[in-house]
């Protein structure tokens, strides 16, 4: 059993945003407050976590069906209603780069991420992810499967600690 | 005249009903279905190589006599998670497909070699009359 410790908000920044010093998902801290604020880049100190991040590579598996939400919530039933399921490699990749990925790979658990609901930050966050992909489509007209997975890895490493469950 | 490179809000993606030739770059889209996954409220949206603007903004662009564009119909629909992400009903305005026909750095609207939107100062002033809070703007 994981022990969860929380502490009340205690610090107000010049912009009125509060640093919530609560333990979120056992590992991560985030900033919230007026205007939503922005995610805080937290230094990873744990050797084990550093190693996990170094080794992390986005990948896909093979789903038995296209019901990706069903696939995700079967694995993470307690997150139902708390997260929106997002594809790490975007679904439109199948249209932009025909033949690189199958639908079974696209909707596999390995390609799914949980985005916390009800947080302004999550929406800003998703917007940032879509912009990153949009830029990728512009700069990689003939992206290979590996380049696409590398892009998903890059986004996971940049923003994935805010997903639920955290990635990596 | 000054020109600006714009990266508008990307509120979603090209839908399944989009007809696109990916053998060229930027891809040539002949039918556009823009699926909005989460709209933060800007009146110009991108999903490369396409741009859509609200009817309100299209009216302002049309009235300003700007060059280098034409409007076309597009199907803009809400994705299945859009309202869940917005935590409530989303009232979508009507949208027009802003097709770039001009030359970047010459006409008011133009496309860079990778399909990015380049606008003149006066076009930017018009775009700023609409909501433009999630658009990255750089002098070119």
Interface membership of B67 toward A (CB under 8 Å): no
Q: Which residues of B touch A142 (CB under 8 A)?
A: 25
Say yes or no to pLDDT of A21 above 90.
no
Q: What is the pLDDT of residue A124?
A: 85
C-alpha span between A119 and A68 (Å, rounded) = 22
Place B85 in a pLDDT band, splitting at 50, 70 and 90: confident
Q: Which residues of B touch A133 (CB under 8 A)?
A: 10
Q: What is the pLDDT of residue B111?
A: 97
Distance from CA of A86 to the nearest CA of B (A): 9
Backbone angles phi, psi at B79, to 5 degrees: -75, 165
Distance from CA of B66 to the nearest CA of A (A): 26
Interface membership of B96 toward A (CB under 8 Å): no
- Answer whether B114 sits within 8 Å of A118, measured CB to CB: no
Say yes or no to pLDDT of A26 above 50.
no
Place A30 in a pLDDT band, splitting at 50, 70 and 90: very low
ipTM of the complex in this document? 0.96
Say yes or no to pLDDT of A22 above 60.
no
CA-angle at B84, arms to B82 and B90, nearest 5°: 55
Interface membership of A91 toward B (CB under 8 Å): yes
Say yes or no to pLDDT of B88 above 50.
yes
Q: What is the pLDDT of residue A42?
A: 56
Q: What is the mean pLDDT of chain A?
A: 79
Q: What is the pLDDT of residue A44?
A: 66
Say yes or no to pLDDT of A38 above 90.
no
How many residues appear in chain B? 140
Say yes or no to pLDDT of A1 above 70.
no
Long-range contacts of range A152-157, CB-CB < 8 Å, 24 or more positions apart?
A152/A58, A152/A88, A152/A89, A152/A111, A153/A56, A153/A57, A153/A58, A155/A58, A155/A88, A155/A129, A156/A56, A156/A58, A156/A88, A156/A113, A157/A53, A157/A56
Q: What is the mean pLDDT of residues B54-82?
A: 97
Other beta carbons less than 10 A from residue B108's beta carbon? 22
Closest by alpha carbon to B7, among B122, B109, B134, B101?
B134
Instruction: State the pTM of this model.
Output: 0.83
- pLDDT, tens digit (0-9, with 9 covering 90-100), for A67-113: 999 999 999 999 999 999 999 999 999 999 999 999 999 999 999 99
Place A41 in a pLDDT band, splitting at 50, 70 and 90: low
Interface membership of A26 toward B (CB under 8 Å): no
Choose the closest CB to A84 out of B11, B85, B136.
B85
DSSP state of B95: E
Omega before residue A165 within 30° of 0, cis: yes
Backbone angles phi, psi at B78, to 5 degrees: -85, 135
Interface membership of B10 toward A (CB under 8 Å): yes
C-alpha span between B92 and B96 (Å, rounded) = 12
CA distances, A139 to each of A62, A103, B49 (Å): 28, 24, 12
Omega before residue A99 within 30° of 0, cis: no
Higher pLDDT, A14 or B95: B95
- Among the residue ranges A8-22, A90-104, B31-45, B61-75, the one predicted with the least confidence is A8-22
Q: Which residues of A touch B38 (CB under 8 A)?
A: 123, 126-127
Interface membership of B28 toward A (CB under 8 Å): no
């Amino acid at each position: 059993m994981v022990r969860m410790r929380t502490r009340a908000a205690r610090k107000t920044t010049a912009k009125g945003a509060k640093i919530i010093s609560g333990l979120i998902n056992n590992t991560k801290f985030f900033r919230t407050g007026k205007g939503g604020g922005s995610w805080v880049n937290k230094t990873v100190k744990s050797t084990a976590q550093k190693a996990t991040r170094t080794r992390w590579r986005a990948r896909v598996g093979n789903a038995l069906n296209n019901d990706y939400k069903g696939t995700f919530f079967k694995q993470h039933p307690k997150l139902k209603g708390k997260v929106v399921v997002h594809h790490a490699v975007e679904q439109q990749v199948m249209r932009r780069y025909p033949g690189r990925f199958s639908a079974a790979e696209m909707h596999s658990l390995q390609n799914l991420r949980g985005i916390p609901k009800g947080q302004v930050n999550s929406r800003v966050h998703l917007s940032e992810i879509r912009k990153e992909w949009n830029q990728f489509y512009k700069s990689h007209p003939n992206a290979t499967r590996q380049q696409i997975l590398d892009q998903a890895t890059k986004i996971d490493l940049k923003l994935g600690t805010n997903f639920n469950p955290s990635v990596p | 005249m000054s020109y600006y490179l714009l990266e508008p809000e990307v509120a979603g993606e090209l839908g399944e009903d989009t007809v696109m030739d990916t053998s060229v770059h930027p891809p040539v889209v002949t039918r556009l279905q823009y699926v909005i996954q989460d709209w933060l409220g800007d009146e110009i949206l991108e999903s490369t190589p396409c741009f859509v603007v609200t009817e309100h903004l299209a009216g302002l662009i049309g009235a300003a006599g700007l060059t280098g564009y034409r409007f076309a119909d597009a199907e803009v629909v809400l994705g299945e998670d859009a309202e869940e992400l917005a935590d409530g009903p989303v009232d979508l305005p009507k949208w027009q497909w802003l097709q770039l026909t001009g030359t970047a750095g010459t006409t008011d609207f133009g496309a860079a070699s990778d399909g990015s939107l380049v606008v003149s100062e006066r076009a930017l002033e018009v775009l700023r009359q609409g909501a433009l809070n999630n658009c990255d703007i750089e002098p070119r």
